[in-house]
Structure 1
Amino acid sequence: MTAVHETSTFRQDWDTWYAEHQRVLGDPHGFLAITNLHWLDENPQRFPDAPGEWSTGPDGVVVDLAPGEELVVDGTAVTGRHSFGVIPERGSLYPEAGDAVIEVAKRGGHDIVRPRHPENPLREQFTGTPAYEPDPRWVATGRYVAFDEPRPTTVGAAVEGLQHVYDAPGELRFTLDGTDYTLTAFNGHRPGTLSVLFTDATSGVTTYAANRSLQVDAPDEDGTVTIDFNRAANLPCAYTDLATCPLPPAENRLPIAIEAGEKIPTERL
């Protein structure tokens, strides 16, 4: 394969990744469609952007729907009182209300309701995220080193006072510009893959201050991984204050400027 072909394929692959990431962001029921973040307790509450009165307790989240109100849960219309049960940490359910989705979730030990309305102005006005031009310089071949046992790792959150606990299965070791670095890794979205939360010297300057994330494919049998910072992506909290995104662990605050991946969203400028 010629160098020109390799460069062309690298760019095409990045363009495909970027387009898909923007599509997910702009989904009618994605994070940009969230209209509010409601914290539940034992006292029934009614919200302007969701049907019913909502509460939570030892048996989980309950909604009481008034006459004429309904939700569609797993394809079935429900009225009156409906129990969602106890939702696991980082779990989410997505009942439908007309053209909206009413996310019911647990974050940091708290039950929440996050309505998602396609007509939310933040979503309707979204035109895409600024990003650095992809550059092979920011692709490193590294090594994944598994811990003897997954390490429970407590990290902060975009919401003040909230904490997340993740099991870190291992760390990524790699070299950039002749300097060695190590990042604590969490489990990725797909089995075997890894996820990294980090900041760097661009954070708060050209990239979002609180965090960026990077997905890493499953390591080879010998632990070899490809770390492509061109695919460093913003988490939802970069666009909206209605997200509870985790912050990077202290050891993942890189001292170098990673001039790759997504920049500060236009919505935050």
Structure 2
Amino acid sequence: MKNSLLVLFLVQLSFGFAQEKFKISSTEKFQKEINGEYAAAKTSPLTKGDLASFKTLDFYPINEKYFVVAKFTRTDKEKPFEMKTSTDRKPVYVKYGEVEFTLDGKALKLNVYRNIELSKQKKYKDYLFLPFSDLTSGNESYIGGKYIDLKIPKDNTIAIDFNTSYNPYCAYNHIYSCPKVPLENDLNVEIKAGVKKFHD
């Protein structure tokens, strides 16, 4: 009986991790979708001049190394706060949890946030916001850092694919108001993944 339970546990465990495996097709889909969004006049954040000559965003090569399954810790009793942006706008967020993972032998931790107003919409009720900056920021990637879209996990792990990290809209056009990356989400490593800085 004990052996049967152990086998069942191992099967369930392996199945759970199978749901969080790296899929290059998912990243390729992300790249195709964001390129499509930026190429279409109705959804593009680009200026008219940049849109006229736009062909594709500049991406780092897709790298499985930057897909991590992180430990997720829900942080309770956090107080909502006004997140600083590139303008005077101050959207209200709340720290929802912390993610911990290892990259290049370094133990790293990031905070994930929830937009209070956005979470009231059915479409975004499970949406989490992960802004971060790293040692490529201001060099190969946008100086203001990048964002990753996540969903509230069902357990204590969460898959984070840095290959799907993207620039704030204000990296392309000054008319936008973009949340600034909190200081605690500045990583002391290079994340060579996702969208690079925009080249005119």
The alignment's TM-score, normalised by the length of structure 1, stands at 0.59
Query: How does 1:18-33 map onto structure 2 within 5 Å?
Result: 18-32=31-45
The worse-fitting range, judged by mean Cα deviation, of 253-262 and 171-180 is 171-180
Higher strand proportion (structure 1 or 2): 1
* 1:174 aligns with one of 86, 101, 113: 101
1:151–1:169 Cα contact (<8 Å) kept? no
In structure 1, what is the Cα distance between the partners aligned to 2:56 and 2:34?
A: 9
- Structure 1 position 127 matched with structure 2 position 55: yes
Instruction: Say which structure, 1 or 2, has more relative contact order (CA 8 Å, 6+ apart).
Output: 2
CA drift of 1:162 comes to 4.6
Q: 1:178 offset after TM fit, Å?
A: 2.4
Q: Which runs of 5+ in 1 are unaligned?
A: 1-8, 35-119
Alignment counterpart, residue 213 of structure 1, candidates 132, 135, 147: 147
Asked whether 1:266 is paired with 2:196, we answer no
1:186 to 103, 113, 117: 113
Match of 2:162 in 1: 229
**1:33 Cα deviation (Å)?**
5.8
Partner of 2:85: 157
2:133 to 183, 192, 199: 199
CA contact 2:46–2:173 (8 Å) conserved in 1: no
Contact 2:135 2:190 in 1 (8 A): yes
Q: Could you list the per-position Cα deviations for residues 243-269 of structure 1 after superposition, in whole angstroms to 9, with x for gaps in the alignment?
A: 1001111100111110111101123xx
* Structure 2 residues not aligned, in runs of 5+: 1-21, 116-122
CA RMSD of aligned residues (A): 2.1
Q: Give the Cα separation in 1 of the matches to 2:134 and 2:81.
A: 20
Q: 2: distance between equivalents of 1:254 and 1:233?
A: 16
Shift of 1:121: 2.5
AA paired with 2:37?
A: V
Distance 1:26 1:187, change over 3 A: farther
Alignment partner of 2:176 out of 218, 223, 243: 243
* Contact 1:208-1:238 within 8 A present in 2 as well: yes
| 8 A Cα contact 1:217 1:226, kept in partner | no
Give the structure with the higher percent helix.
Answer: 2
Task: Give the distance between the partners of 1:23 and 1:168, measured in 2 at CA.
Answer: 31
Amino acid at match of 2:181: P
For 1:32, give the aligned amino acid: P
SS in 1 for 2:80: strand
How many aligned positions are there? 172
User: How many angstroms apart in 2 are the aligned matches of 1:187 and 1:166?
Assistant: 5
In 2: Cα distance, 1:204 partner to 1:134 partner: 20
Instruction: Map Cα deviations across residues 74-128 of structure 1 (whole Å, 9 max, x no partner).
Output: xxxxxxxxxxxxxxxxxxxxxxxxxxxxxxxxxxxxxxxxxxxxxx333222222
2:38, 2:46 within 8 Å by CA — same for their partners in 1? no
Report the AA paired with residue 235 of structure 1.
P
Question: Normalising by the residue count of structure 2, what TM-score does the alignment of the two structures yield?
Answer: 0.77
Question: Is 1:144 the counterpart of 2:69 in the alignment?
Answer: no
Q: Which amino acid aligns with 2:83?
A: V
* Rg comparison, structure with higher value: 1
Amino acid at match of 1:26: A
